[in-house]
Amino acid sequence: MRKTKKELVISLLQKHPEGLTINEIASMLRISRNTASVALANLEGSEKIRIRPVGMAKLHYWISK
């Protein structure tokens, strides 16, 4: 069974505790920035990730509970 884009983003963020930008996520998963952004917005809404602005970029972190 194939993983959804959201599940792929979750797996990637869990492997990178230093945080990733939308561009890095999109590049690593070979998906569009828009698709990555939608998955991240969904995760942010369900409070699964934390976002920290760094200059013009935003780093996305998995919240391990």
Query: Radius of gyration (Cα) for the chain, nearest Å?
Result: 11
Please report the sign of the dihedral spanned by the C-alpha atoms of residue 39, residue 35, residue 27, residue 54.
negative
Task: Give the global pTM.
Answer: 0.92
Q: pLDDT for 18-44, tens place per residue?
A: 999 999 999 999 999 999 999 999 999
Instruction: Give the domain extent around 20.
Output: 5-62
Domains held by the chain: number: 1
CATH of the domain at 57: 1.10.10.10
DSSP letters, 24-51, are HHHHHHT--HHHHHHHHHHHHHTT-EEE
Q: Which of 59, 29, 55 is nearest to 44 (CA)?
A: 59
In contact, 40 and 57? CB cutoff 8 Å: no
